[in-house]
Structure 1
Amino acid sequence: MLGTREFAPVALSARRYVMGGSVVVGLDGTGNSVPALRWGAAEAAARRLPLHLLHSWMSQPLNIPIAQEAANKKRYGAEVLGKAEEMALELHPGISVTTEQVSEQAVDALVDRSGQAALMVLGSRGHGAIAGFLLGSVSLHVLGRAKCPVITVREEETAAYRRPEIVVGVQDPGTQGEVVLGFAFAAADAHHARVRAVRAWEPPATVGVVPTAPASSGREPPVGEEKLLADALVPWRAKFPDVDVIEQMERGRVAPVLLGACSQACLLVVGRRMHRSPMLLGPAVFAVLHHAGCPVAVVPRG
């Protein structure tokens, strides 16, 4: 059942550049559903979009104490959706809320709805257990296949202070990274937050190489790296002149650098490659989903 534990997520109004559809929230009725519902309802209210609540009675958690007959599963699902709708309207009176109970598997239903959604919100079980918000690896499969941005919100997400800062990873400057930066800047603009654009770098390997120039200390990024970051931000600074931007170059692997940068942020935004195989998510995305202390938005890109 949806509980009454208090959560106060930061409502991010990050608009897709081809806006449309609803804010879709996947619900299973466990404690994971509460922060996802609160976040999704706040998103819908801030962006003036309808909220769509989805429950798969075929994918209910195994620990739900109900009989396994389809009729009982459907009855439970209807109760989950009814309570969720009531909570959403109590939190944000006036928003448009629709509910849907499906017989298809949760992954298939959510991936299908992502094609028309503006944004999707999923709950997760917390640190070290991202592999489930309905059953097993549902959230991971949805994150890897969704056609819209997906935000994961942890079960333990609380009202602890977060500075108004959105951290975005900039590892693919140029066309591929535009959708990720666009998501982050639009969110920051809507909520008077600043953007921290982070690019990680590692010194080139020198084993077996005879240097032809004096070796650097290894503390400064290679020539051109800072310019890549600055150039990637130029169009977004122009489009969102009121958004404060911090450029951060840091030596290290991508995941640890991003995790350090987002330790007090309200949202971490990362991109993922479409049609990736055999892993649906890259190692860096997988790592931040496991360990980030804030909600994570995974934005599909080319």
Structure 2
Amino acid sequence: MGGSVVVGLDGTGSSVPAVRWGAEEAAARGLSLHLLHSWVSQPRNIPVAQEAASKRRYGAEVLDAAEATALELHPGISVTTEQVAEHAVDVLVDRSGQAALLVLGSRGHGAIAGFLLGSISLQVLGHAQCPVVTVREGEAAAYGKPEIVVGTQEAGTHGEAVLEFAFAAAEAHHASVRAVRAWEPPVMDVVPTAPIPSPEDDEAAAGEERKLADVLAPWRAKFPAVHVIEHVQRGRVAPVLLGACSQAGLLVVGRRMERIPMLLGPVIFAVLHHSSCPVAVVPRI
């Protein structure tokens, strides 16, 4: 993985877990850490005067504190800082073209009020050219649990970037990969009040297990040291993914490029709202 780990800072409490996560990722992967703050996009509730000079001074303090945090956790990493006068969305999307990944803070469950303002998070997630990790405010430690959960709904080249990211992260952090595939039976003309198992369901589940095994085979070969858990479950994608995250330090999902009219699909919205662990959104190139 080339490039650096870029952490977007807004100066609120949600920045600190993102800095910790980014520093851990940079150290584990042997990458540099780049801390970025847009003084023109500071949140409205930050208690500083509105003059540009005051905003820039506040931004410098934010960057200094973040750099000190990163170096305290991982003294050997290379850390650079940058304060810009461009809007946060524009500069982060631009940096995503060269970065290994972006890291953004998130302010908790419910409506996505993540990096800076909620709309900024969503726009960056929808337009970034590299993986974007959202780290929830209050996250105690990077990769605090032993598994990386990855959704594997699509076979073929469209899913390769997602699996590459998940397996590389697992190798770097000595974690297991839980590869999740959700499936639903064909819609019937008459839907029973409760699912009734049938031989056809058993056969469908076995077929999904074979598909998952086939998708994972080349990644097992490429990352032989990574322990893989195959997780096939009947149900809708988002609930199945969220249910699989009890031991997850990271949830990895894919994003379709150039999705119109919505930049992010319903599964991504659901996991960003409800996941108890950081979420990596990886563009399918």
Counterpart residue number, 1:24: 6
> Structure 2, unaligned stretches of length 5 or more?
192-196
What SS does the aligned partner of 2:185 have? coil
Amino acid at match of 2:11: G
TM-aligned CA deviation for residue 97 of structure 1: 1.1
Distance 2:203 2:162 in 1: 23
Structure 1 match to 2:257: 274
Q: How many residues align?
A: 279
Q: Please point out which of 76, 83, 87 is paired with 1:94.
A: 76
CA 188–96 in structure 1, closer or farther in 2 if over 3 Å, else same = same
Quote the offset at 1:220 in angstroms. 3.0
Q: Does structure 1 retain, via aligned residues, the 8 Å contact 2:143–2:250?
A: no
State the alpha-carbon separation in 2 of the partners of residues 295 and 225 from structure 1: 27
Structure 1: any 5+ residue segments left out of the alignment?
Answer: 1-18, 210-214
Judge which range, 100-109 or 126-135, deviates more: 126-135
Is 1:288 aligned to 2:285, yes or no?
A: no
Aligned with residue 159 of structure 2, among 174, 177, 200: 177
Verify: 1:144 aligned to 2:131, yes or no: no
SS of 2:267's equivalent? helix
Give distance in 1, aligned partners of 2:181 and 2:32: 35
Q: Which amino acid letter does the alignment assign opposite residue 240 of structure 2?
A: V
Are 2:153 and 1:167 equivalent residues in the alignment?
Answer: no
Q: TM-score, normalised by structure 2?
A: 0.93
- Name the aligned partner's letter for residue 130 of structure 1: I
The counterpart of 1:132, out of the listed 90, 101, 114, is: 114
Q: Note the 1:188-267 alignment, pairs <5 A.
A: 188-207=170-189, 216=198, 219-220=201-202, 222=204, 224-267=207-250
The Cα of 1:46 is off from its aligned counterpart by: 1.6
1:22/1:50 contact within 8 Å kept: yes
Q: Contact 1:203/1:221 (CA < 8 Å) preserved in 2? A: no
Deviation per CA, 1:124-169, whole angstroms, max 9, x where unpaired? 0111132332123111111111111111110021259954111110
Q: State the TM-score, normalizing by the size of structure 1.
A: 0.88
- Partner of residue 119 from structure 1, selected from 98, 101, 105: 101
Tell me the residue number matched to 2:54.
72
- Aligned counterparts of 1:175 and 1:33: Cα–Cα separation in 2: 34
2:270 corresponds to which letter in structure 1? A
Name which of structure 1's ranges 221-230 and 57-66 shifts more when overlaid on structure 2: 221-230
| Percent identity for Structure 1 against Structure 2 | 77
Select the structure that is richer in helix: 2
SS at match of 2:263: coil
Write the mapping of 1:42-61 to structure 2, written as runs, cut at 5 A. Answer: 42-61=24-43
